[in-house]
Structure formats: structure tokens, C-alpha cells
Amino acid sequence: MQVSIRVRGKTDPSSCRKVTVDRLSGAVKCDCGGFNGEICSHIDAVLIAGERAMVWPGDEALADEAARLMDGRLSIPDYWKATWRRNYHWRGISPEARRKRTYVRQSDKPLVCFTGNCGRPRSELMAEAKEKGWDVVNNASAHLDVLVAADPTANSAKLKKARACAIAIVSPEDWVLLQDNGELR
């Protein structure tokens, strides 16, 4: 038994790709072929990052089910760059939301916020982030660079705000990769 999700094409929104998740084995594939046959923007955006703007209308519940099935079972390969995050139109992020991100920052340090139970005490995560050169805040705002979420697919207020403002949302596992240099390897 499989769950199939239609995902809009990045360059042609009238076309779609099909991401398929096998309910029993947990195997995931996309008909685009993916990068090295492992991952693609369609899989990363919908199943790992929890984005829904590119999901074909009517397939949102299937995307939610597939994301729940794959929770903790998918990981981002070291070589993956996730360039799809800059495609704001595909992500459903309005020009107004993008403009809200233009501001004068008081510090050149990147800004991070944590949400949910990330597996370790938040105070520990915050102290570690500060040691690595990040500024830490408690609330999501348009000024954030990264929101670290225990469940990136959830719909908490912080996650909704981050999505509306085109802020990168990463899992605690990806945060470990990101915190040193600000880039997912």
C-alpha cells in the first residue's frame, strides 16, 4: 500500500511530480528521479521540511500522512544543498513576506530560535548556539535566520510564522550540521 502525493513542478506550476511513500517498507521515491536517486526538492520540501504550498490541491492530507509515516526515517545526505528554499514562489511565500525580511540587524551574528522538545534541554541548545556564534531569541519573527523545530511538519505558531516569513526550518539533527557554518552540507 502506497501514499502518492502530487507536487507542483518548480518551473511549471501547472505540471506535477509524484512522490510515493510505501506504507510498509517506508521506501520513498519521486518520479523526477531525484538527485543521485536519493533525494529531490519535492521529497525534501514536502516530507522533511513540511512545506505544503507546492502540494497539489486536494493532496494536503496525503502529504500530512506521508510526513507522519516518514517522521525520523528520512535524512538529508551530506551533499544536499536544498536550493529549493530560495524558490519563494514555489514555496507560496508572497513578495510582501519576503520584503519583511529586509531590516537593519544590530549584530552580524545569525539569529536562531528553538521550538518543541528537541531532545535536549533548551538552555543547553541555546548555550551551544551562543558558543558557536549565534544570537538566540525565544520568539519567531521575520528577523530569524533559522528555526530549529522538534517537528518541522507541525503547525505551531512559531512554525506558521517562520513559513510565512520564508525562514529556514530545520530539525534538531540538521541543526547539528548547520550550527558550525550556517550551511547544510
Same domain, residue pair 64 and 104: no
Write the secondary structure of 116-184 as one string of H (helix), E (strand) and C (coil): CCCCCCHHHHHHHHHHCCCEEECCCCCCCCEEEECCCCCCCHHHHHHHHCCCEEECHHHHHHHCCCCCC
Show the domain range for 150.
Answer: 95-178
* Element housing 82 (H / E): none
Residue 52 and residue 163: Cα distance in Å, rounded? 10
Same domain, residue pair 87 and 116: no
Is residue 184 very low, low, confident or very high in pLDDT (cuts 50, 70, 90)? very low
Q: How many folded domains does the chain comprise?
A: 2
| pLDDT score at 63 | 93
pTM over 0.75: no
| pLDDT score at 114 | 94
Same domain, residue pair 16 and 63: yes
Same domain, residue pair 114 and 61: no
Residue 146 inside a domain? The answer is: yes
| pLDDT score at 58 | 94
Q: Which pLDDT tens digit goes with each residue over 98-134?
A: 665 544 455 678 889 999 988 889 889 999 999 988 8
Residue 78 inside a domain? The answer is: no
CATH number, domain of 155, equals 3.40.50.10190
Q: Which pLDDT tens digit goes with each residue over 167-179?
A: 889 999 888 887 7
Q: Which pLDDT tens digit goes with each residue over 61-96?
A: 999 999 888 887 887 777 777 788 888 888 888 777
Residue 77 inside a domain? The answer is: no
Same domain, residue pair 87 and 109: no
Q: Work out the percent of the chain whose per-residue pLDDT is above 90.
A: 31
